[in-house]
């Protein structure tokens, strides 16, 4: 038996890629292990979006150096966005790495591992990046790769990601993604639908469509263009599927057809992650986001007019080049007025090779970034608490995902009742006391308490009535 250890950082795109790498290696007889020291092959699927994500991987690689010296036959591979970004620098910083594979080349992983094992030395497979030919090359790689599936690698057996869009063409000035993931292209609807049917057959109740700007999805064929809203109508017909989500949205492409599909299709989750990045027009312009704060506000208004109960979440970058205290305050005000479900807040991290790094000074000191990060988080946490209190006394539909983190730690497998966790149609996290049989079901849960991050409830059961009670021994 050959053993594989894989560690994944970064976004949903990387989770999905790891699922497929594992599926392709299982075909070669590999089994997963959770201990890198027991593994024959150790893979890191990496992210380059912030410096911190890269540092983590180099530190994990450093921990394996001595082990690799003692066991030179073990294979260490670096996959994904940082592999594409750093290329041979990975070999320089960690000379015992055997494999560097970019995100558009992952279908080659089994073959490259075999080459290393055959004594052919270190291997690399990188995409052409954004050069001519990259679109075709990356598309071909995904055609063979994306249909591979590994239920064990999914968030849960009944939830899956499905890629509908590859790459990104937006070139926000701070962002490395367009240069590591290549040009934006929509996958053909036929492939997407076929994959969704396979997932439904495997018992998936929920599919999350993923793309860097998922609502910019377009697929053009002679005489017909398919948009995300059209895809949702088609996916909605698939038996077995109960919930459809999609991430991440680009504010400028939040068109009315999409919002109407969300309103009209009962399986579509009322959740929109649509990052704004800043509340200052000068910062948005420097970031080259292509919209103003007024445009974003107008979009929020349209979302709430069409889908009044939509839960909206956002991303902010604090301390981008030249951000003044007054400009940061504008972000704080936008958080105050927007009533987001939650926000992901990041300290600007300069990425060599981006326009931002070339044009602007990374001049906000680290401790100022840290303070702005804390301040924004504190404002959002208060809002999330208030918003969650609106659920008190309501009954929500929860897709039960499994034991909560607390239950997993406390009880292991003991006892009939344990704390379970799941999500509502609006992506709110709910915990309640339940039993294992409820995992994978969609259940009504009455909410009686909350924190800023969690709703706390109780499963609503049907009253048994005197007839049933009379049957008791």
Please report whether residue 168 would count as binding ligand SF4 according to CB under 6 A. Answer: yes
Distance of alpha carbon 125 from the chain centroid: 24
Among ligand SAH, ligand SF4, ligand F3S, none, partner that 178 touches (CB below 5 to 8 angstroms by kind): ligand SF4
How far apart, in Å, are the Cα atoms of 422 and each of 188, 267, 270, 415?
Answer: 32, 17, 15, 20
The least distance separating ligand SAH from the CB of residue 56, rounded to whole angstroms, comes to 15
Beta carbons within 10 angstroms of residue 186's beta carbon: 21
**Of 199 and 318, CB closest to ligand SF4:** 318
**Of 30 and 250, CB closest to ligand SF4:** 250
Tokens of 446: 């009455």
Contact letters for ligand SF4, residues 238-277 (x by CB under 6 A): ------------x---------------------------
Piece in contact with ligand SF4 (CB under 6 A), picked from 39-47, 170-178, 362-370, 406-414: 170-178
The least distance separating ligand F3S from the CB of residue 212, rounded to whole angstroms, comes to 7
Can you tell me whether residue 186 is helix, strand or coil? strand
**Of 47 and 196, CB closest to ligand F3S:** 47
Please compute Rg for the chain using Cα positions: 23
List 20, 43, 57, 175, residue binding ligand SF4 (CB under 6 A): 175
Among ligand F3S, ligand SAH, ligand SF4, none, partner that 313 touches (CB below 5 to 8 angstroms by kind): none
Can you tell me whether residue 338 is helix, strand or coil? helix
Interaction residues for ligand F3S, span 1-60 (CB under 6 A) = 10-11, 13-14, 47-49
Interaction residues for ligand F3S, span 151-180 (CB under 6 A) = 176-177, 180
List 80, 178, 189, 457, residue binding ligand SF4 (CB under 6 A): 178
Q: DSSP letters along 109-176, please? A: HHHHHHHHHTT---EEE---TTSTTHHHHHHHHHHHHTT---GGGSSBTTEEEEE-EES-----TT--
**Of 358 and 413, CB closest to ligand SAH:** 358
User: 141, 109, 115: which is closest to 128 by C-alpha?
Assistant: 141
Among ligand SAH, ligand SF4, ligand F3S, none, partner that 317 touches (CB below 5 to 8 angstroms by kind): ligand SAH
The residue with tokens 């052409």 is 128
Please report whether residue 81 would count as binding ligand F3S according to CB under 6 A. Answer: yes
Over the range 358-368, which residues count as b (16 or more CB within 10 Å of their CB) and which as e? eebebebeeeb
Interaction residues for ligand SF4, span 10-69 (CB under 6 A) = none
Total of residues contacting ligand F3S (CB under 6 A): 12
The least distance separating ligand SF4 from the CB of residue 85, rounded to whole angstroms, comes to 13
Interaction residues for ligand SF4, span 202-221 (CB under 6 A) = 212-213
Distance CA 180, CA 185 (A): 14
**Of 122 and 356, CB closest to ligand SF4:** 356
Q: Answer yes or no: are the C-beta atoms of 108 and 140 closer than 8 Å.
A: no
Tokens of 462: 């049907």
Interaction residues for ligand F3S, span 366-385 (CB under 6 A) = none
The least distance separating ligand F3S from the CB of residue 214, rounded to whole angstroms, comes to 13
List 177, 307, 335, 345, residue binding ligand SF4 (CB under 6 A): 177
User: Residue 43 pairs with which residues in a beta bridge?
Assistant: 6, 77
Tokens of 429: 């996290």
Q: Answer yes or no: are the C-beta atoms of 408 and 431 closer than 8 Å.
A: no
Distance CA 236, CA 201 (A): 15
Among ligand SAH, ligand F3S, ligand SF4, none, partner that 141 touches (CB below 5 to 8 angstroms by kind): none
């Amino acid at each position: 038996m050959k053993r594989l250890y894989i560690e994944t950082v970064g976004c949903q795109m990387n989770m999905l890629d790891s699922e497929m790498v594992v599926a392709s290696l299982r075909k070669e007889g590999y089994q997963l292990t959770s201990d890198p020291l027991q593994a024959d092959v150790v893979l890191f699927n990496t992210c380059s979006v912030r410096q911190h994500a890269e540092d983590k991987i180099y530190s994990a690689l450093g921990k394996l150096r001595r082990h690799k010296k003692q066991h030179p036959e073990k294979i260490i591979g670096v996959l994904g966005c940082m592999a594409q970004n750093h290329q041979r620098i990975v070999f320089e910083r960690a000379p015992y790495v055997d494999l560097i594979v970019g995100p558009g080349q992952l279908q080659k992983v089994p073959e490259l591992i075999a080459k290393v094992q055959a004594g052919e030395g270190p291997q690399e497979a990188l995409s052409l990046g954004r050069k001519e030919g990259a679109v075709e090359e990356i598309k071909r790689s995904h055609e063979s790769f994306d249909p591979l599936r590994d239920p064990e690698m999914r968030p849960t057996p009944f939830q899956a990601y499905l890629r509908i869009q590859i790459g990104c063409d937006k070139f926000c000035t701070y962002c490395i993604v367009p240069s590591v993931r290549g040009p934006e292209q929509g996958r053909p609807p036929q492939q997407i639908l076929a994959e969704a049917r396979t997932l439904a057959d495997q018992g998936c109740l929920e599919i999350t469509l993923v793309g860097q700007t998922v609502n910019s999805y377009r697929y053009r064929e002679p005489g017909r263009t398919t948009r995300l809203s059209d895809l949702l109508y088609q996916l909605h017909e698939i038996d077995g599927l109960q919930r459809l989500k999609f991430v991440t949205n680009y504010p400028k492409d939040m068109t009315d057809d999409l919002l109407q599909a969300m309103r009209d299709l009962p399986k579509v989750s009322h959740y929109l992650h649509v990052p704004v990045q800043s509340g200052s027009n000068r910062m948005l312009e420097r970031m080259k986001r292509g919209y103003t704060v007024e445009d974003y506000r107008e979009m929020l208004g349209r979302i709430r007019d069409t889908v009044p109960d939509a839960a909206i979440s956002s991303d902010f970058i604090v301390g981008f080049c030249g951000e003044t205290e007054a400009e940061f305050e504008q972000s704080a005000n936008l958080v105050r007025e927007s009533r987001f479900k939650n926000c992901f807040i990041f300290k600007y991290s300069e990425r060599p090779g981006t326009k931002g790094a070339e044009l602007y000074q990374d001049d906000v000191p680290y401790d100022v970034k840290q303070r702005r990060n804390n301040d924004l988080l504190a404002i959002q946490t208060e809002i999330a608490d208030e918003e969650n209190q609106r659920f008190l006394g309501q009954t929500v539909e929860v897709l039960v995902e499994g034991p909560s983190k607390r239950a997993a730690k406390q009880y292991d497998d003991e006892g009939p009742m344990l704390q379970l966790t799941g999500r509502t149609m609006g992506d709110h996290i709910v915990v309640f006391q339940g039993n294992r049989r409820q995992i994978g079901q969609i259940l009504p849960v009455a909410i009686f308490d909350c924190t800023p991050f969690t709703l706390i409830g109780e499963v609503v059961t049907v009253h048994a009535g005197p007839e049933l009670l009379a049957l008791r021994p």
